[in-house]
Amino acid sequence: MTGSGPLGKAPAGDLNFEPPPPGRALYLEPTPKRIRVEVGGVTIADSRHAMMLHEGGHQPLYYFPPRDVRADVLEPSDRHTHCPKKGDAAYYTIRAGDEVVQDGAWYYPDPLPGTPPIQGLIAFYFDRMGRWLEEDEVIGVHPRDPYHRIDVLATDRHIRVSLHGELLAETDRALALFESNLPPRWYLPLQDVRARLEPSETVTHCPYKGEAHYHSIAGAQDAGRDLVWFYEAPLDEVRRIKDLVCFFNEKVDIELDGESQERPESPWSGRLRSDAPNEPPAVTRG
């Protein structure tokens, strides 16, 4: 339901039925995972019966049955908001350990007709909680979408990367990373980069790949800032991309086997830097 997915805001393909308007689809399903949420070092939610809500144009969210959330840490708030797809939301402030998260949780007491059965289920702002766990593993940025897939494939395509006519890199020993609903990425050996790179202080996180670090093109202006990223310690699922470098193909010119590629449209088109490759904008985390 994100990026170019079939129920996202900019689907890449065609359907044989009339889909919901872009960004309007809702889909609620149970997750088989045990999900825990912590604030102030205290577990405030622990569920083997959590639900995952998929919403067009957004990353999925976990919703919890009230019985799996500690009622003693929730304090009703005066905040109320309206969602045109789901209805009016009421909020809780969370007090746990030595921390207070103002308006950190919400629920829909009376969802709009036709909304999936979320009535009374409790959701939390992902980035305002202390820690999230799927089973016994900590997750970051946002819940992992069960329909999100990554394939890392060796390719012998001849790849040239340039910017403003200057050759930045050239290789025929790249790895191609294909990620659901997003542009393909080409990961290159550092030895095949012609441009002089300088380290950047930017660090971002991807729930599927891990912690990304960045390089800028030495001496370049804004167009060359944070143009290249790499993973020093990628997650096991994508460990083959360790220490390989990737250029934002939204911002450079790429030729594959002599054929010029169009710069893809994505959330990072036209930006000077990304908050995370292949991820929605997120705050930098240490």
9 assigned to some structural domain: no
**pTM for this structure?**
0.88
7 assigned to some structural domain: no
Domain residue limits at 87: 26-139
CA dist 271 and 168 (Å) reads: 19
234 assigned to some structural domain: yes
Residues 246 and 190 in one domain: yes
* pLDDT reported for residue 286: 22
What parts of the chain have a pLDDT lower than 50? 271-286
Residues 36 and 79 in one domain: yes
Residues 233 and 158 in one domain: yes
Residues 112 and 191 in one domain: no
Residues 127 and 58 in one domain: yes
The encoded tokens of residue 55 equal: 């919403």
Total domains in the chain come to 2
**139, 162, 196 - which closes a domain:** 139
* Of 175, 220, 205, the residue nearest 278 (C-alpha): 205
68 assigned to some structural domain: yes
Residue 200 belongs to domain with CATH number:
2.170.150.40
If one counts every other C-beta atom within 10 angstroms of the C-beta of residue 69, the result is: 22
* pLDDT reported for residue 270: 61
The answer to whether 214 and 228 have CB atoms below 8 angstroms apart is: yes
Residues 127 and 165 in one domain: no
Residues 39 and 63 in one domain: yes
Residues 188 and 233 in one domain: yes
239 assigned to some structural domain: yes
Give whole-number Cα distances, 136 to 34, 36, 37, 243, in Å: 8, 9, 12, 27
* pLDDT reported for residue 275: 36
* pLDDT reported for residue 85: 94
* pLDDT reported for residue 265: 84
